[in-house]
Structure 1
Amino acid sequence: MRNPSRPKSSLSLRLLAIVLATAGLVACQAAPQPPGPIATTVTAPSISGQVDPEAGVTLAFEPFTGAPGNIADELSEFIGAEARKQGITLVRRVGAAATYRVNGYLSATGQPSNGTVFYVFDIVDGSGRRLKRISGTEDTGGASGDPWQAVGSGTLSRIANRSMVEIKAWLNR
């Protein structure tokens, strides 16, 4: 129940401040020990913008920052499944050489009635320069206590789908 003495805009500003602070913390956290990198073999766009099957561009997903290990493991599985649906071949190798690396950052916030997962995937080149950022949010059910408890398979599947679709579009630009 909303406190009538506190204006609604004050609550919105407080929620926005919490979300921004959480996103900032996620970007600063040391990487936990989730699953190893996922290397993804795809074809590279040619000068004309069409896919060149001879180029063999690779993407390596680094361990996700901010998500508990079980969530990171499940998201990795969904990314693999989505890549297969998109015709992108995944190669799982720890320390794989790759044309591009993908750094993933996740954060969850919530209340008993609803929650949100924030995600960011940065595609970087060999020197670490960011070339593309994919970001978004997914609503979850509510959870008392840890907001990650409300993050289910459907949420992770949608994150994987949207991210892989955007990565494929970027590669085929």
Structure 2
Amino acid sequence: MRRSHLTTVSLLVALALTACTNAKDVLEPSAITPPAASAQPAPATQGSAAATVPAPPPSTAAPASTTAGAPAASPVTSAQAAAILSKTRLQIAPIVGASVDAATPLTAELQTRAKQRGITLAGSQDQTATHVLKGYFSTMTEGKDTTVIYVWDVYDPSGNRLHRINGQMKAPSTGSGGSAADSWKSVSPATMQAIADQTIDQFAAFLSGKAS
């Protein structure tokens, strides 16, 4: 009877221990095994971070830069040049360096040549002049030849220099040399007239944009 009672008690104790072990296994967090992650990523849903990041645009090569040649300036036509000259009023300042005898045929030819080119000469007191021409002259005698050296400065009415014309012309000398006044006596009127023609022609070329 006692042995049967002990056997029953032992069975009850064993059952109680087994029940405690099973409860511990259930309540232990480490005993809970999370489900294995799926090998395929879940599709991005609208509004998720992955969906709001745009893909970078494909890189495109920058177009090669091309430099178009600047169009050449159109040459001034004869009609345009004539229109420019017709609007010009040229005032000639007193000649510096030349004698009165040499300056007289020079001034007369300047007026004649200017009229031929369509340029109007303005008087010394004319306030409508568009350009002022100032001339500086000197001579150099070597043997029987006399060289006339000249410089013309072109100014606007405000006194700003716009252009310079210079040159020299050699003429046979008939004088005996000596002083500067004597050298001017040997310069013929034809030489001064030729200088006047060249001066007006170069001035007209400057106005037409053809001055070199």
TM-score normalised to the size of structure 2? 0.54
| Structure showing greater relative contact order (alpha-carbon pairs closer than 8 Å, 6 or more residues apart) | 1
Offset at residue 136 of structure 1 (A) = 0.4
Between the two proteins, what is the percent identity of the paired residues?
32
Secondary structure of the 1:95 match is coil
Alpha-carbon distance change, 147 to 53 in structure 1, aligned in 2, over 3 angstroms: closer
Of 157, 164, 168, the residue aligned with 2:200 is: 164
Moved over 3 A (4+): 51-55
Secondary structure of the 1:70 match is helix
The equivalent of 1:79 in structure 2 is 110
- The answer on 1:89 being equivalent to 2:120 is yes
The equivalent of 2:142 in structure 1 is 111
Secondary structure of the 1:148 match is helix
The equivalent of 1:28 in structure 2 is none
- The Cα RMSD (Å) is 2.1
Offset at residue 111 of structure 1 (A) = 3.4
The equivalent of 2:97 in structure 1 is 66
Aligned residue pairs total 125
1:86-165 paired onto structure 2 within 5 Å: 86-91=117-122, 93-97=123-127, 98-142=129-173, 143-144=175-176, 145=178, 146-165=182-201
Distance 1:87 1:102 in 2: 16
**Bigger Rg, structure 1 or 2:** 2
Check conservation: 2:85, 2:204, Cα contact below 8 A: no
Offset at residue 89 of structure 1 (A) = 3.1
Alpha-carbon distance change, 55 to 73 in structure 1, aligned in 2, over 3 angstroms: closer
Offset at residue 57 of structure 1 (A) = 2.6
Offset at residue 112 of structure 1 (A) = 4.0
- AA aligned opposite 1:169: A
- AA aligned opposite 1:75: L
Offset at residue 167 of structure 1 (A) = 0.7
Distance 1:133 1:149 in 2: 27
Check conservation: 2:85, 2:117, Cα contact below 8 A: no
1 or 2, which has the higher helix percentage? 2
Secondary structure of the 1:126 match is coil
